[in-house]
Structure 1
Amino acid sequence: KLKGILVGGPIPTKDEFIDEQYMVTKLREKIIGRIDIGGSDESGLKELVQKSQEILADQEIIHEKKLLERFFDHLGRKPDMATLKEEDTKQALKYGAVDMLILSKDTNKTLSKELKQLADNIGSSVEIVSTETEEGDQFKNLGGIGAILRFRV
């Protein structure tokens, strides 16, 4: 699934490409960055990758914040549709109730691997979140293991 497009090139070329509508609207709406680079050869591509790191990191942080805001909203408004802590999350995984497993990147690696395997077995998505945001740090301090459920258990 396409999450975003970075467009790079010399100033007039990349701007004309975007502004002159060489891309369909749905693709244009996915543009997350315009990056000025010197050339359009292999060295230009390397320059694009290097200059896009900050944009991509920001996109990941935004994704994590939205994900955890959704999780905390479930905990607050529909607490029976979310789990927090290892034991409750494991039980929900065993019942096949987990829609999305959320783990802090600081979770014990052996435990993390076990929970990911359980999630994979029931077709749940797995999200690993950092502690670089306030929400991620709060999640870690609450145990670093949680889930949004498909149904109540």
Structure 2
Amino acid sequence: IEPPLPITTFLYRCDSSFYLEPLKEMLAEDEIYGLFLIDRRECTIGMLRGKRVEILSHLTSRVPGKHGRGGQSQRRFERLTEIAAHEWFVECGEKISSIFLKEKNLKGIFVGGPGPTKQYFVDSNYLHHEIQKKIIAVLDTGYTDESGIRELVSAASEVMSNLKIAKEKNIVKRFLQEVTNRDKSRAVYGEEEVRKALSMGAIDTLLLSEDLRKYRVKLKCHTCGYAMEKTFDENRLEKFEPPNCPKCETPTQMVIEEKKDLIDELSELAEETGAKVELISRDSDEGDALYRAFGGIAGILRYNIE
């Protein structure tokens, strides 16, 4: 069995079990973003897969620098320079487009470089139209080589954070609007009501707070086979003692047969019915309100239910 990506770290560790975290990170669904830096001398193309940065291509140009002479010689030189620059941008545009068009799960593209050249390149439609639409931001970097890619990732991380918060705010606002719509509200909240709506396949978007610290526990009696499920806060579960089976005539203590994080459990139920799952942080007022006022569990319905 081969890992899906090359292993780039070396770790020697003595333990009673295998250390599989690097492999688990590879198997996790990462968000993928395209990166490229450009000026009149260099173009570096990379990809950001989760936390991993890959350098995919580095091009150098033959566009001449400034010409010190005056008169007709200077004007002729400037024309030749602009022709060379255009050919350079065409070459870069084709290379960037060919690389990014192959990536089906590309969420967006960040562009970097020193000076105004990067913005001119983007505005002049040298890229394939499908790639052009995926540009999220054009950011300043001091370099156009591999160190510039690291600069771009650092600058892009702040933009991505702001985009995530803005998206979360809009989703929660949409939910709150449905809450206030008393006639035909398509909002549901609270674990019990959300579970009911999920079982009916009525939820379009499930909203879960990232700060939920709860578990869904399945209890079972090994004598009669009776089973029940309950939800516990993380702190309460640590001290929890399973009760006696309510169906057995003689006192028989039930046992915890399964314990699952509530976010994972509800997300799986949502995916079974094709509902979208949105994890909402508390970094905004809306996200905090979802956690405090609605218990961190809510949904936007496909249709109104009684």
TM-score by length of 1: 0.88
> Which protein is richer in helix relative to its size?
1
**Residue number in structure 2 paired with 1:139:** 290
**Percentage identity across aligned positions?**
41
The aligned counterpart of 2:234 is none
Answer yes or no: is 1:66 the counterpart of 2:66. Answer: no
Q: Distance in 1 between matches of 2:155 and 2:180?
A: 39
- Structure 2 CA distance, aligned partners of 1:87 and 1:41? 54
User: Which residue in 2 is equivalent to 1:101?
Assistant: 206
**Matched residue type, 1:81:** R
Aligned match for 1:17, one of 121, 125, 128: 121
User: For the residues of structure 1 that align with 2:170 and 2:134, how far apart are their CA atoms?
Assistant: 18
Give, in whole Å, the separation in 1 of the partners of 2:178 and 2:167: 17
Instruction: Compute the displacement of 1:137 (Å).
Output: 0.6
2:109 maps to 5
Give aligned pairs, total. Answer: 153
Equivalent-residue separation in structure 2 for 1:80 and 1:35 (angstroms): 42
SS at match of 2:116: helix
Match of 1:86 in 2: 191
Structure 1, residues 50-90: CA drift from partner, whole Å, max 9, x if none? 11111111111110111111111111125641101111000
**Which of the two has higher C-alpha Rg?**
2
Specify which structure has the higher proportion of strand: 2
Aligned partners of 1:81, 1:39: CA distance in 2, in Å? 50
Letter in structure 2 aligned against 1:148: I
| Secondary structure at 1:102 match in 2 | strand
Aligned mates of 1:114, 1:137 — CA distance in 2: 22
Unaligned runs of 5+ in 1: none
**1:56 equivalent in alignment to 2:160:** yes
Range 19-28 or range 119-128, more displaced: 19-28
Find the partner of 1:125 among 269, 276, 284: 276
User: What amino acid does structure 2 have at the position aligned with 1:102?
Assistant: L
Question: Which protein, 1 or 2, shows the higher relative CO under an 8 Å CA cutoff with sep ≥ 6?
Answer: 1
Task: Tell me the distance in 1 between the aligned counterparts of 2:177 and 2:185.
Answer: 12
Structure 2 residue ranges without an equivalent (≥5): 1-104, 215-260
TM-score where L is the length of structure 2:
0.46
Q: Partner of 1:46 in structure 2?
A: 150
C-alpha distance after superposition, 1:104-144 (max 9, x if no partner): 00112521111111001111110000111000111101211
